[in-house]
Amino acid sequence: MKTTSLTSIVFISLTLVANQLLAGDLSQDYVALEANLLNRDSGNNIVYLYDNNGTPNNSSDDIPIANTGSFSDQADVGYRLSVGKTLSQKWSLQAGILGSDFNQTDSFTDTSSQLEIFRLPLTNNFDSADYVSANYSSELQSLELNLVYKLNDMFDLFAGINKVTLDESFNIVSDDSNIASPGTGIYNINTTNDMLGPQVGFAFNYKPADSYGFYIIGKLAWLDNDADQNQVVDDSPAFTRSNSASDSHSSTMYDIRLGVNYYFNKQLAMNLGYQLIDISDVALAESQFDTTLAGSNTVKTNDSISWDGFNLGISYIF
C-alpha cells in the first residue's frame, strides 16, 4: 500500500475493530477487515398509496392503505476497515472506515380499483395509477481518527473525531393507462446529512485464554450536521414541482459493539459480534414526502435512524 493511501486511511477514521480482535493488546501494528449484516430501521412507515375503492378518478371515497411502501427493518451488507499504529506503551493511534449501502425496490399493481398517490387536481398520472414502482436507498459512511490510552490490560479509553455522511433517495414512478391521455408520473426525493464532530469512548477486553477473548466497545459522538433535501415532481404537462431546503443543527451518534475473538496464532485473529449504531436528529428521505401541490421548502431533521446486526472480521498483526 502506498504511504499516501495509508496516511489517508489513518486520518479519516477509527472503529476500534483492533480492540475487538486483539482483546486489549494494542502494542502491535495491525490491519483489520470486517463484514457486517446490518438492519436499517428508522421507525417510520411510509404511507403513500391510496386505494381508489372502485371509483376511478374520484378521490372522495379513497381509503388509505396502511403501511404500504414501508422500507424499515431491512438488512444489507456493510464493512469496516481499520488500521492501528502504536506510539508508546500506553498510547496508540487508530483509524478506520465504516460503510453500509441499503437499497430496496417495491412495485404495486391494481388494475381493478387502481392506486393513487396525490389525490389532487392536475396529477392525473399519479391518481388512479395502474402500476407504481418505488425505490429507497440509504448510504451510511463513518470516517474516524482516535487517540487511544491503555488504562490497563482490560480497559482502553479513546477520544477523537468522526466524520459521518448519510445520503438517501426515495424515487417513485407511477404509470396510468386508463385515462384518456396515459402517461407517467415521477417523484424523486434526495436528502444529505454531512456531519462532523468529536467523540469519546471505551473498550473493555477480557481474554481468559490464549485462543479466545471477549469485548465490549462504546462510543458517543456529538456532530454538527449540514442537512439538505431536494425533490422533483413531474406529471407533465399539467403539473411539475421542485423544492429544496437546507438546515444546520446538531446530531448525536452512539455505537455499541460486543462479541468474541478467536486467535489462530500471534499474527492472525478473527471476531464475531453484534453492533448497534444510532443517529438522532437527521433528515431522512421518507420524511420529506409531501403530497400537497405547493410542496415544502423546509427540511425535516428531527428523525432518528439505527442499524443493528452481526459482524464477522479478521485481522493481521504485524
Q: How far apart are CA 173 and CA 184, in angstroms?
A: 7
Position 72 pLDDT exceeds 60: no
Strand partners, 11: none
Q: C-alpha distances in angstroms, 48 versus 12, 186, 305?
A: 39, 13, 20
Q: What percentage of the chain has pLDDT greater than the value 70?
A: 77
Give residue 201's pLDDT.
93
Rounded average pLDDT over 248-270:
92
Q: How far apart are CA 117 and CA 50, in angstroms?
A: 6
Q: How far apart are CA 174 and CA 272, in angstroms?
A: 44
Farthest CA pair distance, the chain: 78
Rounded average pLDDT over 108-133:
74
Higher pLDDT, 176 or 48: 176
Strand, helix or coil at 42?
Answer: coil
CA angle, 314 then 221 then 288, to 5°:
100
Give residue 8's pLDDT.
39
- Yes or no: say if 47 and 122 are a contact pair by the CB < 8 Å rule: no
Position 141 pLDDT exceeds 80: yes
Which of 79-93, 103-117, 135-149, 195-209 has the lowest average pLDDT? 103-117
Residue 37 is placed in which grid cell? 449484516
Q: How far apart are CA 215 and CA 258, in angstroms?
A: 5
Rounded average pLDDT over 275-299:
90
Helices (H), the chain: 3-12, 17-22
Q: Rounded to 5 degrees, what are φ and ψ at 158?
A: -145, 160
Which of 91-95, 110-114, 222-226 has the lowest average pLDDT? 110-114
- Which strands, in side-by-side order, build the sheet including 63-64? 63-64, 50-51, 115-116
Burial of 67 (C-beta count, 10 Å sphere; 0-12/13-18/19+):
exposed
What pLDDT band is residue 73 in, cutting at 50, 70 and 90? low
- Predicted TM-score (pTM) of the model is 0.83
Q: Could you say which architecture CATH assigns to the domain 3-317?
A: Beta Barrel (2.40)
Strand ranges (E), 52-130 = 63-64, 74-86, 91-109, 115-116
Q: Write the pLDDT tens digit of every residue in 1-16.
A: 433 343 333 333 333 3
Question: What secondary structure letter does DSSP report for 3?
Answer: H
Position 213 pLDDT exceeds 50: yes
Sequence-separated (6 or more) residues with CB below 8 Å from residue 161: 144, 145, 146, 196, 197, 198, 199
Hunting for cell 478473527 — which residue is that? 270
